[in-house]
Structure 1
């Protein structure tokens, strides 16, 4: 303890005309860890007090030139002497000296003869007490500074509700002057309802000894409404201390946060959370009143294409206009009467929902859905672009389809996907059979994800024949799936699913590697350059790693790039013509053979077709199947062949099933053909046998 004090308050001024007494006092101080400075009389003591800035003075009463009483009084007059403790040394029975010492400003006294061990501890005690007083004064100054800086209003109430103290905060607009409060009852100052609440909480605070809060509003003379919060706490003496804070800004911020939490930042309409809460309320209301309602789930068709081709800024503007058009299309009478603002919402992306209450018949919901579809079909003019979109809408009904919010929203979503699968630009009602379809779809997806790992996928091959010589000059690889439970699953069923889920990318890479490996085997067997054709899906073609995947497959299998033909549809090539040119340039750089598959079923710009610089063009089988009887198909086929040859492209006819078709194609100048007439897709072994026979005949 002595060391702690010495580190902070260690200087003691010893004033006595007796050198021995001074020496003894200094020795005593040193023993308790204090440093002493000495003065031989009162005048010297006052002078030393000014320069040494002592923490305590130990001074004899009787001294020459200036006695201890006078020296003490002089020290107290100094700015630095107001709080320094001064201990006077007096005669043992000199009561008058003690009285005079206190009158002169002494803090304490010590009687002679001095008990030296006790004196040291007494000095420490006085220093400790002085230090505590200093800290209290500093704390009081701090408290006053804090109170002066706080904008809140403070008050104190007695247990009966009368103001005992009241100090107005500088930033509390609806505070009252202290003269209007002190001595008055709460009910005389505040409006009756607020006063009643404040008194009720005050009694609770007194009973529970816990802090309580009261929020209330006051209307200012200007007419503005301000929000306040009063926090109440007991003082422990039967009174209640209160702090009033203006929380108007906080309330405004909370309201803004609430709007942000429940409002879609892009379109300005309610968001998913707001819609779900509205749906919960409407569900409870409809249950009480035995009413029906519908949930409409709308999704824009091919919205991703707009983002990809025109940019996300155009996509965002489109969503804003769509939300405006929805507000205009859905009449107020269609929405929840007591909560129109959140009956229409954007769930996210291009998904919107609408809540239709109090339905009399299902047709009412369908009518609203058809109005929305018609509104969406009108062109959107955005930044010079005329954009056409359609909408697919699913509808679920309460109570027919479900009696909870999650089910109704999920079933409306399911019906919307059914509408898309039925050709888009549709509105469909939910039915339980749709759930079975969705479950089957999910199971099929799970199975497809396992198919690669379990070696359930395999390849069949269809030969491509040179029309003039009849020789096999190429083979197209076709992927098949042998499901462990369902058996062979048609490509028309699992390929679209693979496209939708993105599984087409790893499946496509497996097909590419397997086909290249088989082509290399046939090349070693027959010593002939047999081209292997592999279809590329749109998803694969847009994969940024496509060129690397092709290079890796060729490198690992040893197949020459010129013997690999990559087939792309018109739609894939024209989806983003500029990006297509970049990818095609990469593939041409590798040296692979490029062709357009199913030509005639999409839309190709002749200008782009020329710029794409592909090697071959495959006429879709829909034009071949009617030959030679169908004159229109014959004319189209002849025109396509002529156009392709004009662009120096090889022409392949797909779907050749009869000899008559082959003769006609040869007459038109078609270069190659494939179809059932030459053989159905077959395992590698069957193609190997055909190649052997062809090699033997050639020899």
Structure 2
């Protein structure tokens, strides 16, 4: 993590003003600032934010857009109008990726923006980088002011010239030859200027424009100025000539070398349009470039493509290797992108001519876009964009995307370690997919998410159907977020039968969702969505509590105890509060810990062996029953079975479905049962759908079975009735 930043007070952290009407958001932001070594002050609304900004002169302001009394846009403008608010960085917090709100924020004077929901670790780094860029701009402005003062103290070159352009007098400045004079040709000594025509001293085009301004100064009797550029000693130099009439047909000219000022101005402009981490253009530069390309393509009836690239699993790298490695990776990615995109993919149109103020013709100035190639930009985080102009065929955009994708697959060497990443790329086309910047960028983003959903490390073109899929996905996510509070989730229970005693000894709790509009939504559809959004944690806690409560109801004196099995997702298992959540559920429901079975997949157990052992030890200390679900589809390693010391494993239904005809599945099933018994583990077979399968499993020595043949998942009342009628299920088995 970067060191705490300070701009105004030595040995003291920078002060950040947090303006948000939500006290929870203010608290989270203040905690985030403290975590990166920054001090925070807070304001409850826009009016208070403006007052505190004037009173405290903070180093940076985090401003929510929607606030009472005065919204963030108005507050931003009011702060900018204050004497001490013109340069302070203002980062606006929007409610989503609303490009219109982002545009309004920049128009109000915002420096940057972040979208909700907020990625807190990334926001901390963004605040530090904005502070660093702001400090650099301040330093550059101070340097520029100092340079101006130094230049003002050094006598400028001056000359007297007639209306016809004849030098009447010439006195060079005291600069060294590389910067002196006003850019005289190296073969023409300054002392020999007197009596010569300006066209003999300066290039014809500059001489012609200078004479135009001489005539204008004599005519209007006002100061006129000309800026021009000359290449001297292999380097471009900028000069400013100021002309004032000293008589009816004579002018006095003062010439200053303004090269340093031009470089400082260019550096300031570069900071405004350049990503501070990678050195490539930022979001603002790309949006402006995209707008210009859009207008050019409309006029010229041309096509172009927008590529939106996102690194796959970049968050994992940040979480496991640290943000410093993540930042280095982003820098290497940007360098590799620059190397991968061929010059023919780049934009390099340069305005020509010489710029003259007060209405004269424009001068030659190499554009920032030409030198930096702003068809490549970093939008933020691990998101990059590429613009391909003058597109003849769609295949060319796909070729560029695949070239980039292949380049990302090569390992990156960071601190002696090889790091492997992949990229997902979405492509939108003008004019097929949209005729405005917002749509093209949004649709490329949509296509990128489609590429991720198709397995990542992929490139996909946008189509209108993708928008419908995304909208459906978003709508389903919104519904899932409300499902708990609207009591739309419920549990079904599938019996587990002891093969030897024919008794029901347990049930597995299975979650279902009855959507208000769509009806019952398949778990295969909403469980991955819950995993993706993190909702699986609160939903999993609800399942745990509901199942424990129902299991407690089923316990009766004199009856064999009934164990309830609950599946734990990978996110739940990694939750540092898991043990406390399990303890709380058992305590609140009064269920004996031995009657709660927690099912874990092989992948969950193997993800982080050290952390897994610690968590399993905590759960075993509580006394709950631990089992491995879907055994045989993951690692299936004897070694980890011994290390993790679980009590039971469940053979995946894919091995049971082919029995008894599939000899290979039969051999695998028998081997799993023998191995588990050798490790003193109980074996549960899932997906038993025929009597023949049950007979074979009994012959193999399987302990417990569950499946449609024994009982489909049913509501708690149905299971209650089954238990009250008889604790046994009588089956027509020849083996009994």
The TM-score normalised by the length of structure 2 is 0.64
SS of residue paired to 1:448 = helix
Q: Mapping of 1:125-274 within 5 angstroms?
A: 151=153, 216=227, 227=238, 248-274=259-285
Q: Mapping of 1:515-594 within 5 angstroms?
A: 515-524=547-556, 528-594=560-626
Q: How big is each residue's C-alpha offset from its partner over 1:603-655, in whole Å with a ceiling of 9 and x where there is no partner?
A: 35543443222222221111111111111112222222233233333222111
Confirm or deny that 1:691 pairs with 2:723: yes
Query: Which of 526, 549, 553 is the aligned partner of 1:494?
Result: 526
8 Å contact 2:594–2:624 — kept in the other structure? yes
Structure 1 residues 148, 313: CA separation in 2 closer, same or farther (over 3 Å shift)? closer
For residues 624 and 615 of structure 1, the distance between their equivalents in structure 2, rounded to whole angstroms, comes to: 21
Instruction: Indicate the residue corresponding to 2:690 in structure 1.
Output: 658
For residues 422 and 503 of structure 2, the distance between their equivalents in structure 1, rounded to whole angstroms, comes to: 49
Query: Which of 293, 309, 316 is the aligned partner of 1:305?
Result: 316
Instruction: Indicate the residue corresponding to 1:358 in structure 2.
Output: 390
SS of residue paired to 1:342 = coil
Confirm or deny that 1:295 pairs with 2:299: no
Structure 1 residues 196, 472: CA separation in 2 closer, same or farther (over 3 Å shift)? farther
Confirm or deny that 1:454 pairs with 2:458: no
Structure 1 residues 167, 420: CA separation in 2 closer, same or farther (over 3 Å shift)? closer
Instruction: Indicate the residue corresponding to 1:118 in structure 2.
Output: none
Confirm or deny that 1:410 pairs with 2:442: yes
Moved more, 642-651 or 664-673: 642-651
8 Å contact 1:393–1:415 — kept in the other structure? yes
8 Å contact 2:348–2:373 — kept in the other structure? no
Instruction: Indicate the residue corresponding to 1:98 in structure 2.
Output: none
Structure 1 residues 259, 640: CA separation in 2 closer, same or farther (over 3 Å shift)? farther
Q: What is the deviation of 1:554?
A: 1.7
Structure number with larger C-alpha Rg: 1
Q: What is the deviation of 1:567?
A: 1.5
Instruction: Indicate the residue corresponding to 2:658 in structure 1.
Output: 626
Q: What is the deviation of 1:574?
A: 2.0
SS of residue paired to 1:455 = coil
Q: Which has the higher helix share?
A: 1
For residues 424 and 223 of structure 1, the distance between their equivalents in structure 2, rounded to whole angstroms, comes to: 48
RMSD over aligned CA atoms reads 4.4
For residues 391 and 471 of structure 1, the distance between their equivalents in structure 2, rounded to whole angstroms, comes to: 53
Moved more, 333-342 or 668-677: 333-342
8 Å contact 1:151–1:169 — kept in the other structure? no
For residues 635 and 278 of structure 1, the distance between their equivalents in structure 2, rounded to whole angstroms, comes to: 64
Structure 1 residues 224, 331: CA separation in 2 closer, same or farther (over 3 Å shift)? closer
Query: Which of 491, 504, 514 is the aligned partner of 1:472?
Result: 504
Q: How big is each residue's C-alpha offset from its partner over 1:293-346, in whole Å with a ceiling of 9 and x where there is no partner?
A: 222222333333344444444444444444444444433334445458222333
Instruction: Indicate the residue corresponding to 1:285 in structure 2.
Output: 296
For residues 467 and 212 of structure 2, the distance between their equivalents in structure 1, rounded to whole angstroms, comes to: 55
SS of residue paired to 2:446 = helix
SS of residue paired to 1:296 = strand
Q: What is the deviation of 1:481?
A: 0.9
Instruction: Indicate the residue corresponding to 1:139 in structure 2.
Output: none
Q: What is the deviation of 1:479?
A: 1.1
Structure 1 residues 148, 608: CA separation in 2 closer, same or farther (over 3 Å shift)? closer
Confirm or deny that 1:393 pairs with 2:404: no
Query: How many residues get paired?
Result: 545
Structure 1 residues 665, 611: CA separation in 2 closer, same or farther (over 3 Å shift)? same
8 Å contact 1:526–1:692 — kept in the other structure? no
Moved more, 308-317 or 554-563: 308-317
Instruction: Indicate the residue corresponding to 2:403 in structure 1.
Output: 371
8 Å contact 2:683–2:704 — kept in the other structure? yes
> Where do 5+ consecutive residues of structure 2 fail to align?
1-148, 183-189, 246-250, 350-369, 731-736
The TM-score normalised by the length of structure 1 is 0.67
Structure 1 residues 220, 612: CA separation in 2 closer, same or farther (over 3 Å shift)? same
Q: What is the deviation of 1:538?
A: 1.6
For residues 464 and 278 of structure 1, the distance between their equivalents in structure 2, rounded to whole angstroms, comes to: 64
Q: What is the deviation of 1:526?
A: 7.0
Moved more, 218-227 or 318-327: 218-227
For residues 728 and 380 of structure 2, the distance between their equivalents in structure 1, rounded to whole angstroms, comes to: 65
8 Å contact 1:174–1:220 — kept in the other structure? no
Q: How big is each residue's C-alpha offset from its partner over 1:130-178, in whole Å with a ceiling of 9 and x where there is no partner?
A: xxxxxxxxxxxxxxxxx999736699999x9999xx99899997589xx
Structure 1 residues 423, 546: CA separation in 2 closer, same or farther (over 3 Å shift)? same
